[in-house]
Amino acid sequence: MYNLGVIISPPGFFSQLRHMDYDQLFVEFNVGVTRQTCLSVAVRLRFEYNLRERKKFERKCARKTDLLKEKDDDIASLKAQLSLKEAKDAEAIRLRSQVSVVKAVEAARVNELNSLKGQNLALESFGKNLRNTLWTQFGKKRDKIATLLEDAQDIVTRPWSVVTTSLDDVRDLKGRSEGATIQANLAVAQDGSGNFGTITEAIEATQKQRIGTDRYVIYVKAGIYKENIMIGQSMPNLMLIGDGIDVTVITNDKNNHQGLLTDKTATFQVWGLGFIAKGITFENTAGPEYGQAIALLSASDFSVFYRCSFKGFQDTLCLFHYRQFYRECDIYGTVDFIFGDASAILQNCNIYVRTPLPGQQNTITAQGRVDQTSTTGFVIHNSRISSSPNLIPANWQVMTYLGRPWRDYSRVVY
């Protein structure tokens, strides 16, 4: 019989089950337990080692992540610096382009300045040559001019001693007013009965056909001629005779509001020496609302206007330069309508003030003497100042002044 305690004890029980000797089973059991324990220890050690290695790896990964983050930050910073550099490079390219444009403009300006200097030298040379030519051409007439200046001193008692290049011309002009005849070189008529239909065509033909500088007469028959006429310095001693005031009319409406300089608004300009006009109306129909609008601009030395009419509003009659004489003429205007810096005598003339814009005042003269030693000025002798018909019905008060000092040494004698 087996001992029950031995049989039911685990080793004994298992030895019976396995048909093994107890001691042998005990040895194998202990060996197994030892192995199991060793295996557990090995597994635990391996686990701890792997855990340590994993923590090391995680720390290493964290460091790598931080490094990568730093690198990313560095890359972002480099990208920002690159973008800034690209922007600076683009700005530098733009500035270089602008500098190139500025240099090109500066070079063009320098070339233009050099060209203008060349033109200025050429103009100075031309002016010098022109002065010499004019001095030579008109030198023979100095004695006549001196005589005429002496005659001008008693112009009140002898009104036909006019400041002109030839007293014979004035006598011929007076003779025509008394019924005599002056032989015309050309005739202008709108009905085809003359040599030309316009005054401009006659002037152009005169430049081509005329020989010498003797008096040249153009007869302008009755009619309204809407033209802009320029008689240059190359056409001295020209004479225009019309059929009378408001019968032969030269008209236009150019004005300052069209963007023109004041002198460019003139219906009629004359620069040639010794010009004479008789029986003609010179007119600029631009109204007072259009500002400066010249009817006649005269820069003709020793020029004469006899029984002519000048109609406009602001700046009607421009007595630009040199010696001029007006007799028995009608002059209409509002603001500064007799102006300039000529040595001018207006004798036995009618001066009519017209209706200006509301709030404006009329000023008859605006003389432009700028040098106190200059001999220029206006003499308005034995003339009448009155209102034109269109001024009378005005429903507001209009102040009218004899003149204003346009320049520092303005001089007008009534």
Q: Which residues are identified as catalytic?
A: 336
- Token pair of 172, please? 């011929």
- Token pair of 305, please? 């206007």
DSSP state of 153: T
* CB within 8 Å of 220: residues ≥ 6 apart: 187, 188, 199, 202, 240, 241, 242, 243, 248, 250, 280
Nearest in space to 39 (alpha carbons), one of 31, 185, 208, 282:
31
CB 194, CB 221: distance < 8 Å: yes
If you write DSSP's letter for every residue of 7-36 in order, what string do you get? Answer: HHSHHHHHHHHHT--HHHHHHHHHHHHHHH
CB 331, CB 365: distance < 8 Å: no
Q: How many CB atoms lie within 10 A of CB 29?
A: 16
Q: How many CB atoms lie within 10 A of CB 398?
A: 17
Q: Report the first-to-last Cα separation within the chain, whole angstroms.
A: 178
Q: How many CB atoms lie within 10 A of CB 166?
A: 18
* CB within 8 Å of 87: residues ≥ 6 apart: none
Q: How many CB atoms lie within 10 A of CB 107?
A: 10
Report the distance separating Cα 360 and Cα 378, nearest Å: 24
Give me the sign of the Cα torsion angle 371, 372, 374, 379: positive
SS3 state at 379? strand
Report the distance separating Cα 265 and Cα 401, nearest Å: 25
Report the distance separating Cα 329 and Cα 381, nearest Å: 12
